[in-house]
Chain A
């Protein structure tokens, strides 16, 4: 039975869970079943609301408990923090999930937990909840379960039978940095459960080839998260790690979480006046380019450019570094080359290759198809935008990248990036501000 006290617990446990950025309900299509509640729609899932910070609310993202025996420096729930602690009962959590779902508030549950007693003790509770949801409450919606570091193979195997997605967060790309901040963890503690889940998924695929109705195992695959700006790790470290992870067939998404100075008293951590949101956004753009635009990590960051350019998006940055790849002839070039043009996305590239069979495309058509001509015009030739004596082409090669660049960066964009660089500069020199709940900002 739910009471006023439940409301308070939910508040505490949502606040403790909110730094995990994943909320997506993507990756699996499952129709409704007779006698069960819910379905999953696939694609990118459904966002049911958007919080005041603009982030999508798709799943009920909550911890079973925010007590934790570990002391990871970047985490608000670390045992040395003096914050309010709470634990939801198994039945409370199940009831909230079902009632929220039936009111169309959520797509399902994203459940995690602090580690109490032992990893297996904690993991057992989580598994019990997802098992109950499926078998007692007949819940057929989305379940994302964050696995507890150090949980046994058996528990992972059972969790995978009930969950749509499972995640293990890497948090810090370089192992030295991770060990420094989270002495109880190392890369092994992340990659081992990842490998176990992967093995489960692949074996399950085999089983289903023989037995079509064998129950599915983690059908929406795995995701993980890396914190950005809590250590000196570069964008190259991060993107190389992502790129390696995407080689694994079951790893679907890597999330990037701009570090928010939750534990300002810890000298191992920088005191950031604001989270590095521009950098985080650039990383998402780079990630997107790797997944949908056939860019490789080493094209986006290299020895000379270990961090992404904050002023311009990584695709434009690449184009400015590679004027020799342009101009691209809209009426002739392959889809892949058209995709590389700044200002042209997957949607407009598809429209272009479909339409040009009917007519020679001009910039009028391109504009109508949603191409950002302000950017694209320096990188293409099309109908009337081609070199002629009367109308010489003015593109990236004629103007030179360094002169073109300032034309493509808005003042506001530049200021935001500069401000962020300033705000994150005092990396490592901690002011020693101590707060009681670890969530106060320094400004």
Chain B
């Protein structure tokens, strides 16, 4: 079995494809650098990621795949799913082999796996658009804290910039400890050096009371009241609720706090 070790970046996957073709090899699997090799590995190669290799493979892919399929490749990687590395590599490898698009061949297990992974990520992107809750701080900034399974923030900022262009906002990923801040002109990626001094609770996203804008508590209560009032008791269906709004998102949602 031939194994490639790579640096766990998307560029790394692309560089692995580059290496495979220049070494005329067909590795069986990709693993992260520093991880133990599987038992039956008899040969391994360490991929040196360079921008140049990645760029050339990406450019090459563009000749065979549609714009949409290219986007799906990039999106799938945001899943941060380690299981994805090998199928993603094989998918790209096979595109160059076939010299045509495989993107619609869902009978191919690698194509199907990558497509399904990308779909999962896109689904969570939608969930962020649904479930992010902002609180308004005294300085007028709207703060929304989330804890997504996949690294989907880069996929939602366009939506929020378009929608809330006249209010400054900060969307923060509590799991990955970074966020995006919008100052009504542009979006910047932000991290906080010292997480202990964050003005909000990482587990609930709640902003410290003294920093909340004057009426914010009232609007939170109004929303909770509305949420309860709109429910029809005769139709109680907690199963459907959980299905459409999984419990893991509740901690950060005003109506469930």
Interface residues, chain A, with chain B CB atoms under 8 Å away: 2, 6-7, 10-12, 14-15, 17-19, 31-32, 34-39, 41, 46-57, 60-62, 96, 99-100, 102-105, 138, 141, 258, 260, 274-275, 277, 351, 354-355, 358-359, 361, 365, 368-369, 441
Is B131 on the interface with A (CB-CB < 8 A)?
A: yes
B236 A52 Cβ-Cβ under 8 A: yes
Give the residue of A105, A355, A365 whose beta carbon is less than 8 angstroms from that of B133.
A105
Q: Which residue of B lies closest to A141 (CB)?
A: B163
Give the residue of B112, B133, B162, B222 whose beta carbon is less than 8 angstroms from that of A104.
B133
A56 B244 Cβ-Cβ under 8 A: yes
B235 A277 Cβ-Cβ under 8 A: yes
A368 B232 Cβ-Cβ under 8 A: no
Give the residue of A103, A258, A277 whose beta carbon is less than 8 angstroms from that of B142.
A103
User: Which residues on the A side are within 8 Å of B167 (C-beta)?
Assistant: 37, 102
Give the residue of B225, B234, B243, B245 whose beta carbon is less than 8 angstroms from that of A11.
B225
Give the residue of B105, B107, B215, B240 whose beta carbon is less than 8 angstroms from that of A54.
B240
A18-B229, A49-B255 known; 4 other A-B pairs, CB under 8 Å?
A: A19-B232, A49-B131, A52-B228, A369-B106
Number of interface residues of B (CB under 8 A): 56
Contact flags (1/0) for B167-183 with A, using CB distance below 8 Å?
10000000000000000
Q: A35-B166, A351-B106, A368-B112 are in contact. Are A53 and B130 (CB under 8 A)?
A: no
User: Which residues on the A side are within 8 Å of B144 (C-beta)?
Assistant: 104
B238 A52 Cβ-Cβ under 8 A: yes
Bound state CA distance, A41 and B160, in angstroms?
Answer: 11
A14 B229 Cβ-Cβ under 8 A: yes
User: Which residues on the B side are within 8 Å of A57 (C-beta)?
Assistant: 227, 230
B134 A102 Cβ-Cβ under 8 A: yes
Bound state CA distance, A51 and B244, in angstroms?
Answer: 10
Give the residue of A14, A103, A277 whose beta carbon is less than 8 angstroms from that of B226.
A14
Is B25 on the interface with A (CB-CB < 8 A)?
A: no
Interface residues, chain B, with chain A CB atoms under 8 Å away: 102, 104-109, 112, 126, 129-136, 142, 144, 159, 161-167, 215, 218-219, 221-223, 225-241, 243-245, 253-255
A49 B166 Cβ-Cβ under 8 A: no
A104 B132 Cβ-Cβ under 8 A: yes
Q: Which residue of B lies closest to A6 (CB)?
A: B222
User: Which residues on the B side are within 8 Å of A369 (C-beta)?
Assistant: 106, 112
The smallest C-beta distance from A29 to any residue of chain B, in angstroms, reads: 11
A61 B235 Cβ-Cβ under 8 A: no
Q: A354-B106, A355-B107, A359-B105 are in contact. Are A275 and B218 (CB under 8 A)?
A: no
User: Which residues on the B side are within 8 Å of A365 (C-beta)?
Assistant: 106-107
Bound state CA distance, A384 and B238, in angstroms?
Answer: 41
B236 A102 Cβ-Cβ under 8 A: no
B165 A32 Cβ-Cβ under 8 A: yes
Q: A54-B244, A359-B107 are in contact. Are A48 and B231 (CB under 8 A)?
A: no
User: Which residues on the A side are within 8 Å of B222 (C-beta)?
Assistant: 2, 6-7, 10, 96, 100
B229 A11 Cβ-Cβ under 8 A: yes
**Can you list 20 A-B pairs with a CB-CB distance of less than 8 A?**
A2-B215, A7-B218, A10-B226, A14-B230, A15-B229, A18-B230, A31-B162, A32-B163, A37-B165, A37-B167, A47-B130, A49-B253, A50-B240, A52-B228, A52-B231, A53-B232, A61-B230, A260-B235, A274-B234, A275-B234
B163 A38 Cβ-Cβ under 8 A: yes
Bound state CA distance, A41 and B162, in angstroms?
Answer: 10
Q: A7-B222, A18-B230 are in contact. Are A53 and B237 (CB under 8 A)?
A: yes
